[in-house]
Structure 1
Amino acid sequence: MSALTRLTATETKLFFREPVVVFFAVAFPPILLVILGLVPAMRAPSPDLGGVRLISLYVPILIAMSLALFALNALSQLFATYREKGVLRRMRTTPVKPAAMLGAQMLMATILSVVTMVAVLVIARLAFDVNLPRQLPGFLVSYLLAALAMFALGLLVASLAPSGKSAGAIGTLLFFPIVFFAGLWVPRDKMNDVLRTISDFTPLGAGVQSLQDAASGGWPHPLHLAVMLGWTIVAGGLAARYFRWE
């Protein structure tokens, strides 16, 4: 096993020792989907959306929300807590490099978030007759870019926050505007032009639109893919630049 693989396995074991974090990052989005799906208005065709059912629109939104929960309320807080408790300081005496630690965290988060995504898609299909993505390659590309953008942002928060509590507070402050522009309260289709334009340049606004485009059979717009890639490069680069052991 490579050092990255061993480190990822260890981080995954430690992650599952935090049941509250695991619940909100992994289990909450599928549960919320079931709750929303039980509302009759969510399953009925909406005339305002050209006959599209709201539950179909909310599947990509909930997938995006799971990424935000994982990145901003789990990943960042756990990593900052390591610094606060001196775990990272002790690791400084080992051959582990900052890039390896950041890579292991992102790999773990990506694998577990894929499990949540698959659960959401399966429940939506079997319980609420929501079609699976028609453009599967485009859907997977969109999901991967959205995940990388959010995890890079979460790691940036973890790199800068002095403690686990401060990382949780910063993550919460970022979480609400990010999921708002992703369409959690007002779907992008119902936003006015100004809000939709702002949403286009946020990591999850671009992510949700890309996922919805791929789900309906089209290829995601290059602008949205570029926005997510840009967030990944900038936030990831800053996370590596400002990484601190203590």
Structure 2
Amino acid sequence: MSALNTATAPIAAKRPSATWRLIKTESTLSIRDKVGPLWGVGCPLIVLIILGMVPALREPVEAGGSLTYFDLYVPVLILFNLAILALSALPTTLAGYRENGVLRRMRTTPVGPVRVLAAQLVANSAIALVATALFLAVAGFGFGIDLPRNVFGFVFAWLLAAAALLSIGLMITALAPGRGPATAIGTVLFFPMMFFAGLWVPVAQMPEMLQTISHYTPLGAGMQAFQDAYLGSFPSAGPLLTLAAYAVGGTVVAIRWFRWE
């Protein structure tokens, strides 16, 4: 009996936990779903390469310090990736799980639905992290764009921006009755958020009123924090507090009104 226990112990020790297996499963499903990899990674990567080939975008931006237009588009496309994952991929998937009864059935198993949410957050965060590294590598090695001068500040701002956007995604999931409404809400939020991040017009060239509004939006605050890091300083308190407020507020609303079925 003792020998049997000794033989089976290493096997049990090597067995991955249920949470890790769930994370791997959700990551595989996220890739197969194609929303995150195709629209969140592939689309902005192609845009980044196209913009890098436009000589006019190497001109300095007025009121942008020493940054060029292309310098600004790199963090904008990083935020684009985070926004697609948080506002489209995450709420659509989780609302679909609830609509199809997956979360309800999970409540009767030892795994539980909370782990499904955690696995989805980890899967989307991993995709966003890989995409960010890819964008910075392409911009740096392909087009000679410098990395953010304050790397720690950039990483800290990225983590806060990811937390803020993912919490908004969870809030959409909590409030939307199904997959269709979740997709619609995420799409409606995505375009104005990207406008205030500077996707179409650099924030520095917006009228003063729009610049002020931009600083209080999650992507606008994220862009402001990224720009500070690119210029070499740690992001100022204003955008960081704005991102933290969105992260906490979205999480509180999601927890308060989340429905498993």
The TM-score range, normalised by the shorter chain, is: over 0.9
Q: 1:3-33: per-residue Cα shift (whole Å, max 9, x none)?
A: 4333222211111221344201222211110
Shift of 1:161: 1.2
2:148 is matched with 133
1:162 is matched with 177
Structure 1 residue 198 and structure 2 residue 213: aligned?
yes
Q: Per the alignment, in what secondary structure is the counterpart of residue 16 of structure 1?
A: helix
Moved more, 38-47 or 136-145: 38-47
1:11 is matched with 26
Q: Distance in 2 between matches of 1:138 and 1:122?
A: 18
Shift of 1:201: 1.1
Moved more, 165-174 or 95-104: 95-104
Alpha carbons 1:43, 1:128 under 8 Å: kept? no
Q: 1:172-205: per-residue Cα shift (whole Å, max 9, x none)?
A: 0000111111111111111222111111111111
Structure 1 residue 82 and structure 2 residue 91: aligned?
no
1:183 is matched with 198
Alpha carbons 1:188, 1:196 under 8 Å: kept? yes
Paired-residue identity, %: 46
Task: Say which one has the larger Rg.
Answer: 2
2:38 is matched with 23
Structure 1 residue 221 and structure 2 residue 236: aligned?
yes
Q: 1:71-97: per-residue Cα shift (whole Å, max 9, x none)?
A: 111111111111112211211211344
Q: Distance in 2 between matches of 1:50 and 1:243?
A: 43
- From 158, 162, 167, the counterpart of 1:147: 162
Identify unmatched segments of 5+ residues in structure 1: none
- Shift of the 25–47 alpha-carbon distance from structure 1 to 2, 3 Å rule, reads closer
Q: Distance in 2 between matches of 1:102 and 1:196?
A: 35
Q: Distance in 2 between matches of 1:18 and 1:197?
A: 37
Moved more, 162-171 or 113-122: 162-171
Compute the TM-score of the two structures, normalised by the length of structure 1: 0.94
Q: 1:19-59: per-residue Cα shift (whole Å, max 9, x none)?
A: 34420122221111011112221133456756632100111
Shift of 1:215: 1.3
Compute the TM-score of the two structures, normalised by the length of structure 2: 0.88
Alpha carbons 1:65, 1:179 under 8 Å: kept? yes
Query: In angstroms, what is the RMSD of aligned CA positions?
Result: 1.7
Report how many aligned residue pairs link the two structures.
246
Q: Distance in 2 between matches of 1:209 and 1:50?
A: 12
- Shift of the 139–45 alpha-carbon distance from structure 1 to 2, 3 Å rule, reads same
Q: Distance in 1 between matches of 2:67 and 2:87?
A: 31
